[in-house]
Structure 1
């Protein structure tokens, strides 16, 4: 537990700053370009290189590359350095090629991703996509550098580097406010406005990649291009990564379906402002905040160690690593999920109801966020379960589970799209997402437990979760009372939302800490002790 906490604390601090600046970035952009057609165009353009990156290398990095680097470090005479250089060479060349092809075929990509855009909206989305797509190469360089750092138990730089990216894009959003007269009007936006948004966004990723290259250089890695690809073990990687590629493809198909349904909701509504793709994206980003701060940190620290334990057949150590990770993550995400369900609109109004985003637009975002709050616990545990499979080199099972997830998510999302009125469609998509991860997590647990002799410690996890929920319910009730009382007195404004969050979130958080201490939820005690120790220094 202590090792997980120490490694996770370093990453969580960086992730906290990264996510906070990330939400300031998101708020600035939403204020600048709104959450209607121009906001949708920007978010679709921003998502396309991320999808291509995940399709080509992102999923493989999370499941195959880290265990293979660990193996090379153990077995190669040079400690795996030449292997790491080959990986960097392959990733850079492949992603540079894809970036060029993506720019050429941007209209095709946009057509696949969207539904019922008019000509102006389509052309604006294509233009932004062409400006933003080149960042995919720097995604790859930074991702391989981050994997190399993780295998050396250096977790800080990959978590802190996105802060610089956020600062650059915040500056771009503020500059757009100053120089553009279009605001959120997609019909009035100029070519120079689009160049500022697109090139500025790419510049942020370039800065992030440079930071990671410097960090990996400081731990002794020297990048020497290597073209002896016969020694890159691409065949072994392909064999291990084939199912991971299938996993990523299936998930990307699901994302494409969701994007089309969300943009279709905006088209269905006509001139009425409803939650659309940008509302889905922004609420999903905030939903990811507690997951990113604690769960990603724990997952990143867990995978290299679990890979070593699996290689050595230490099943007890795998079980202990996994159960400690789940309980540590759940101590934060259980109350966070309930708070999102209660305070979602207040959070969204405080952050987004500025500039070209109205209070009603922000409330739409908050309503979607409330539904995502239901998904926080099952989604996080599902992600932890995948690392059990990956530590054993099993990428086939996660891919097969993902097929079921996407089929359920897409089918239920499409049915809700058909039957719900436009203003509820995106909330329905969030509900479909939740249902998919509840059932997918149950299946993943059952199958992962067969990998580890003696199981995954389900009773210990269930006991911890039940006590965390019992401690969280009074906190959520206090937050709900604060929300209702403030709304009756002051209505819904950014200022009243701040009061709701301070009163409801602060009081609720304090009650959860007291209740968890009295119930001897040791994970909370450990987190508090670690933080207090660091502050005391």
Structure 2
């Protein structure tokens, strides 16, 4: 196995297994992370409102919801498959390196933006023209559902260009220490989408009252749902041009690659693209398998009595919820720490790499373990937020509960792989992804052979199991690359966090029982508003139990985080 191309394994002594001190680096990280997390929280709250409005507008288990969710996921899927890994993993170290030039990297960034815009434009046009083929390959829909999914894809695929430009400009801002705008821009996206969905509900009516179907769907409805989503993504990218201008780099369109360092970026990017193709190939398989259940659901609902089963839209809802702890905390900290990892790798300071990694894993765990516990205990009322009936809420809740188990492992693996990219080692993540994709495809194909009722729950279980396997595989590769990074201490912290999380989950589950979780027609099954009440009360109770258990178990990371936050607000 190759080691990271920056520091060598013997460049510094091994990291100590004890806790890292919360020094100036930790304070800066928490301070910047708080700004980013605040933006992410605001965005995710609005995102949940948008998802709830979308569920009210087109349902989560109907003939329109599955085609729309499949089509609306394609832009992100194609962007991540072709360019996402390059923009989010390769660019920051390269921009930091270029920023050390006399022009602060202006020439490099200008050429990078020009090249990215050109490539993304060509990719977007080709993908949009190929919408019928892409939809046919990625779904198992037939007849009217296939036609509607294709129509939605024509409207949604232009998002690829704006997702890409948002990522490129955001990484330029991050590399220059401007972290806030990248996480706050999605707020504007959600506001635009919410406005369009609100108009849809007022003018077209909800799924519950109108029972929208592919046969009755109109162009105006497509404009309000799919058009609103695409406009939101476009605005999200465009608002980042304001903070980009404030960097005062004197950026302007520039073509040409010779002597810019973009050749090196291209070589790293080529391997990363292969990694993303492999990883998103697994997503393609999962999407295809999930639509088998979605297509079977139409026939099962026509039976007497009708049979409700989970489809691709229920899986999308579950994934949205289980990624919340990762997106709010882990992604914010990892974005900041990626700069620290990149700088330490460039300087050959392997001890600093280990210290940043250990601190990031432990600080993140405090939040993600609680998030997993909350998702597990409150899966029922969470499922009710995005459902038009208790039956569909039960399906959503089941998927959320299964996915919750893998939540902390998702963030852990994300941190571990950032170390390789910070050191400009793109080959090791490819090796890791090949192993994980082979396992994931095997699990997905196994799910596809099951009764349609069990396909999506099995895919959810495969997601969680895959995250656990990913941590084990990434850890083995990483210790060979950088040596011990204090994994023993990190494991000890997570064991105590898990005990606290289980106690919090037990209290949340007991509260749900009081509110009628096990009764037909129980309190939180009656309406979305009731489920919000249960979530609010349950969330406060669980947080109190969790914090009490952390103090009892002497989890020092909690004290460090509270101390840094208090010091910041005290100033």
The TM-score bracket by the shorter chain reads over 0.9
The correspondence for 1:438, drawn from 468, 475, 479, is 468
Structure 1 unaligned residues grouped into runs of 5+:
none
Question: After TM superposition, what 4+ stretches of structure 1 lie above 4 angstroms from structure 2?
Answer: 530-537
Aligned to 1:28: 53
Aligned to 2:304: none
Deviations 1:355-375 (A, max 9, x none): xx2221122111101011011
The correspondence for 2:485, drawn from 456, 459, 479, is 456
2:531 & 2:229 partners in 1: Cα distance? 30
Cα distance, 1:222–1:366 mapped onto 2, change above 3 Å: farther
The correspondence for 2:439, drawn from 408, 430, 441, is 408
Shift of 1:176: 1.1
The correspondence for 2:526, drawn from 493, 506, 509, is 493
2:456 & 2:569 partners in 1: Cα distance? 42
Higher helix residue share? 1
Equivalent pair of 1:183/1:189 in contact (CA under 8 Å): no
Equivalent pair of 1:478/1:508 in contact (CA under 8 Å): yes
SS in 2 for 1:455: coil
Aligned to 1:51: 77
1:8 & 1:467 partners in 2: Cα distance? 24
Equivalent pair of 2:124/2:158 in contact (CA under 8 Å): yes
Deviations 1:359-417 (A, max 9, x none): 21122111101011011111110011001111111111111111221221221122123
Shift of 1:232: 4.3
1:439 & 1:446 partners in 2: Cα distance? 11
Deviations 1:456-502 (A, max 9, x none): 11111011111111222221111111112221573522354334323
Shift of 1:238: 2.5
Aligned to 2:3: none
Aligned to 2:335: 300
Aligned to 1:210: 238
2:260 & 2:309 partners in 1: Cα distance? 50
SS in 1 for 2:240: helix
Verify: 1:243 aligned to 2:271, yes or no: yes
Equivalent pair of 2:257/2:263 in contact (CA under 8 Å): no
The correspondence for 1:326, drawn from 354, 361, 384, is 361
1:231 & 1:43 partners in 2: Cα distance? 44
Aligned to 2:428: 397
The correspondence for 1:153, drawn from 177, 193, 210, is 177
1:54 & 1:511 partners in 2: Cα distance? 39
Equivalent pair of 2:104/2:249 in contact (CA under 8 Å): no
TM-score using structure 1 length: 0.95
Aligned to 2:449: 418
1:479 & 1:179 partners in 2: Cα distance? 39
2:289 & 2:440 partners in 1: Cα distance? 12
The correspondence for 2:325, drawn from 263, 286, 290, is 290
Aligned to 2:497: 468
Shift of 1:169: 0.3
Shift of 1:441: 1.1
Shift of 1:133: 1.5
46-55 or 493-502, which moves further after superposition?
A: 493-502
Equivalent pair of 1:323/1:456 in contact (CA under 8 Å): yes
Aligned to 1:37: 63
Aligned to 2:96: 70
Deviations 1:254-304 (A, max 9, x none): 111111111101222322432111111111011111110000001100111
RMSD (CA atoms): 1.7
Shift of 1:535: 5.8
Matches within 5 A, 1:216-235: 216-235=244-263
Shift of 1:503: 3.5
Equivalent pair of 2:106/2:251 in contact (CA under 8 Å): no
The correspondence for 1:514, drawn from 528, 531, 548, is 548
Structure 2 unaligned residues grouped into runs of 5+:
1-25, 302-306
Aligned length: 529
Equivalent pair of 2:88/2:167 in contact (CA under 8 Å): no
